[in-house]
Chain A
Amino acid sequence: MIPLSHYLVVSALLFAIGSAGVFLRKNLITILLSVEIMLNAVNLSFVAFGRFNGTVDGQIITFFVMTVAAAEAAVGLALVIALFRGRESLNPDAFTSLKW
């Protein structure tokens, strides 16, 4: 049987990749995708813990996360489209008018 630590390492790697994508990429759609990778990294660790502890809690939470992620993707993409209509750009650095 594969030990828990392997799942967690994979999960940590996925999370690191996701957050690197959020901070480093300059395309809003890529950033959204990176956020999805981070969420799935968390899902993986939940499911692994649940399996390891012999409970279903982790799997239930994962369903919640997937639901929220779906909603978030819908809203996020809608926002991206609206932003693109405004500025003709997907670079997050173009949207800095929300400051003093």
Chain B
Amino acid sequence: MSTTTLPPTKKDAPVSAPSGKISDRARSERKLGWLLAGPAFLVMLLVTAYPIAQATYESLFDYRLTDPDNRSFTGLTNYWVILTDRLWWEAIGITAFITFITVAVELVLGFALALVMVKALRALRPILRAAILIPYAVITVVSAFAWQFAFDVNSGFVNSWFVWLPGVSADTDWFGDRWTSILVICLAEIWKTTPFISLLLLAGLAQVPEVLQEAAKVDGATRWQRMWRVTIPNMKAAIMVALLFRTLDAFRVFDTIFIMTNGANGTESVSFLAYRQTIARLEIGLGSALSVLLFLCVVLIAFIFIKLFRVDLSQARGE
């Protein structure tokens, strides 16, 4: 079937392809490539690009589902309303705070977990691996309930176990105050997602060349020096990828807050604020504007990571 005389038809050639310079084989490979990968690509665009475009459009209207006939074009008013509202900035502050605290603790704790997994006896590894996967696999809502019930003033055990701590008494109401609520939210988030980070770091640890460790040892480097000068620099890429993924994930925090406080006591995250406007208050216009702003925040974080911290995503893509 492979004839070399067939002229290149314009329809098949990708726009960027230098027409006529690629062989038939390469062209059919391209065609097959897009034929196979195209459906998945299209579906991904359909379930994300389309909704965000729709949200951008609807964010320009004053549009409530309770009063759909009075939909009116208001331009950027919704954005102005949000950006001048204290609620938005508080939600941003809370979200950023939870993100920073959880990711920082998870990184340190996850590293410790990864080190123990590396050093533990071979016989123990399957047990540790199974144990560490359990928080990852448990539904976030279930984890939120477990932690909520543990800290609950009536049915929990935390108050009676930790009564010796300063500030904890038998009737400490953890969910009655903003910062104690946030503490419990952070604990639940950290418990649930540290395993994921530790697995990524474990894979990163395995990539540190053993010869470098040996060389440093021969040169008289202490354990601590080897950690900071050899191990960590050599797994920088793995650390950065783990950080990027977890930061973006943490910034979307929603489930735990919904279960534990339902946004009360100033524990509302950005996702929660957007949810409340759209689903609970049926303010499609405002909710859409919030969605777009949240999306822009996520893009900004990803941009900062990739440009400023030079996260090498080709590492992440496995190339």
* Co-complex (A, B): no
- Residues of B at under 8 Å CB distance from A? none
